Structure 1
C-alpha cells in the first residue's frame, strides 16, 4: 500500500503540516521534531509525491539559471553547483544561455519562461539597473555579477576590485616591475572587465609601479584563442613585461601558449595570473596561479535569497559579497 503523509504524521505524533514542513526543508522546525519526523519517514519508506505537492501549492518546482556562456568552464562549474544546490531543496534547474547578447538578456527578464519557473538566478553582462527594473517580470529574481542591481533585487558578487589588487600586489611583491593586463576593456558595457582593470591600476599606483597604455594588452573578445592572438601581437610589436594579469583562466592559458611560442619562459621571464580557478588550471604547465572566487558560497547565498523571495519575502534588495583567495602555483613561483 502507498504510504501517505497522514501515515507519517500519525507515527511521528505530529500534524500533517509539520510533516509537510520537514519534507519541504522548511527551516523553522525544531531539530528534535525534524528527527522524529525523519525517523517515521525512514521507517515507513515514505516518498513525497512532488507532483501532487506542486499542484497543490501552485508552484512548478523549477528554477532557472541564466548565464552568459554554458561552454565557458567557469559558468559550467557554476551551473553544476547550482544544480546540486537546488536538488537539495527538491527543485529542478533550467539552464538558459544568453551568449552575452542584449536581446537574449532582455528575453530572460521579460518572462519568456513565465509559468514554467518559480524563480530566476541571472548573471547579466550588458543590462543596466534601469533596464533590469523596467524589464523584469513578477518572477522572484536574484542577480549575480558586477552590474549594479535595482533597489528591490537581491544581488551576490565577488569584489573584483579587491581581487585584481591582490593579484597585482602578488606579482609586484615577487619582484616583477612591468606588470601587464590582458583584457583591456573596449566594451564600456562590460562591468566586470572594467572593475578588474581598475583594481589592477589601483595596485600599480599604490606601489608606484610602472604604468602606461603599453602595458594594456587589448582583447576584442574573450577566450583562449583571442588571448593567444592578442599576446602574440603585443610581443611582435615589442611589448616588454615580466608579469601578466589575465581577465580569466582561459585568457591566461592562451597567453601562456603565446609566450612559450615566442621563447619566453613562465614564470622565469613572465609570471602569469589567471582568474576563476577552473579545474584545468591545475593541469597546465606550469600550473596556473589564479584568483579563486568562493563559488560554492556564491551559489548557496544566491539560492538562499531566491528561496526567501519565492517564499514571499518582500522589501529592499539584499547585497552579499563572497570571498576569494589567490591560489599560488607554478606560473608565478620564483
Structure 2
C-alpha cells in the first residue's frame, strides 16, 4: 500500500496537518518538529500526491513559455533564462514551439494549457494588432516582443528603435557611411524588423547621411542561411558597403560567412554589428559586436509579472497592466574594431529601460 500522510504523522508523533505543513514548506513549523517529520518521510519513503495537491490549491506549479523557434539562438537562450527565473519562484516551465504560425499562436491563447499550467509567457510573431481580441483571456498572461501592443496583459518588450539607432550611430562614429542592413521585411509595419529599420534610418538622418534603399537587404526568417544569402546579394549587386547592421545575430553570423567567402576583411573593409548578443557571437572569427537587449532582465521581469498575476487571481481588483522595457547596451567586439584581436569585449553604449502603466486597446478588443 502507498505510504500516506497518516503513516508519516503516526511515526513522527504529530498531526496530519503538521505533516502537510512540512511537505508544503509552511514556514511556521518548529525546527525539531520539522526534523522528526522529515526523518519519518525519508524512513517510510513517502511521496506527496501532487495531483491531489493541485486539485486542492488549484495550482500546478508550472508555467508555459510559448516561443516561435528554439533553433534560433535568441529564443533558446531566452528559454534557458526563463527556466532559471521560474525555478527561483518554485515553478517548472513547459516549452511550446509555435513555429511562428498563426494557427499555433492562436492555440496558445485558446486556453489549451489552463489545466496543465498556471499561466503563459507568450512571444508571438504571426499574430498582430488585428488579433487583439484573442488576447482577452481568462488566465494569467505576459506578452513578449513587438508584434502586439495594447493587449490586456502585462508586456515585456525591447527598446528596438533606440537600440538600433545606437548600433547604427556607433558604426557612423567609427567613420562608416555606407551602412547596409541585413534582415528587412518588405511592407512590415509592426515587429522587430520594422522597428530596427526605423532606428537605423533615424541614425542616418541625425548623421546627415542620405538613406539609400539599395543598402537594405530583405530576408525571410532570421536564420544564418538567410543572413548569408542576403549579404551575398548585397555584395554581388556592386553597391558600395563599408558596414553592416544585421537585425539579429543569426543573420550576422551568416553575413560574416558570406563576407569571408568573398575575402572581404572584417572589420578592415566592412564593419559588422548584430542584435541579441547570443553566446555564439563571442566565438566567431572575428568576434561579432552586438546589441544586448537585456535578455536576463526580460526573462526575470516576465516571470515576476506572471507570478504576481497568478498569486493575485481572485484577490479583488487586478493591478494595472505594466509594460517593461529593460536596459539594452551595445557590446563592442572585433568585428567593429572596438577591441583588437583577442581583446575581449567592451560596452560602448547603454540605453536605459523603463516601466510604464498601460491601458489595453479596449475598443479593438471588443471587436
Q: Structure 1 pair 71/283, CA: closer, same or farther in 2 (3 Å)?
A: same
| Segment of structure 1 superposing worse, 109-118 or 98-107 | 109-118
The whole-number CA distance in structure 1 between the counterparts of 2:66 and 2:75 is 10
Native 8 Å contact 1:129 1:148 kept in 2: yes
Structure 1 segment 234-253 matched on structure 2, within 5 A: 234-253=234-253
5+ unaligned residues in a row in structure 2: which ranges?
1-6, 42-46, 339-367
- Establish whether residue 327 from structure 1 lines up as the match of residue 331 from structure 2: yes
The whole-number CA distance in structure 2 between the counterparts of 1:179 and 1:192 is 19
1:318 — aligned with what? 322
| Segment of structure 1 superposing worse, 217-226 or 159-168 | 217-226
Quote the offset at 1:296 in angstroms. Answer: 1.3
The whole-number CA distance in structure 1 between the counterparts of 2:327 and 2:185 is 24
1:147 — aligned with what? 147
Quote the offset at 1:229 in angstroms. Answer: 1.1
Of structures 1 and 2, the larger Rg is shown by: 2
The whole-number CA distance in structure 2 between the counterparts of 1:41 and 1:288 is 57
| Segment of structure 1 superposing worse, 245-254 or 185-194 | 185-194
Structure 1 segment 26-105 matched on structure 2, within 5 A: 43=35, 46=38, 49=48, 51=50, 52-105=52-105
The whole-number CA distance in structure 1 between the counterparts of 2:211 and 2:150 is 35
In the TM superposition, what whole-angstrom CA distance separates every residue of 1:65-97 from its partner, at most 9, and x where no partner exists? 000101111101111111122222222211111
The whole-number CA distance in structure 1 between the counterparts of 2:122 and 2:158 is 15
Native 8 Å contact 1:110 1:136 kept in 2: no
Structure 1 segment 283-298 matched on structure 2, within 5 A: 283-298=283-298
Q: Structure 1 pair 2/130, CA: closer, same or farther in 2 (3 Å)?
A: farther
Q: Structure 1 pair 8/326, CA: closer, same or farther in 2 (3 Å)?
A: farther
- Establish whether residue 166 from structure 1 lines up as the match of residue 140 from structure 2: no
5+ unaligned residues in a row in structure 1: which ranges?
25-33
The whole-number CA distance in structure 1 between the counterparts of 2:162 and 2:174 is 18
Quote the offset at 1:114 in angstroms. Answer: 3.0
Number of corresponding residues: 317
Given the two structures, how large is their TM-score scaled by the length of structure 2?
0.79
> CA RMSD, aligned part only?
2.7
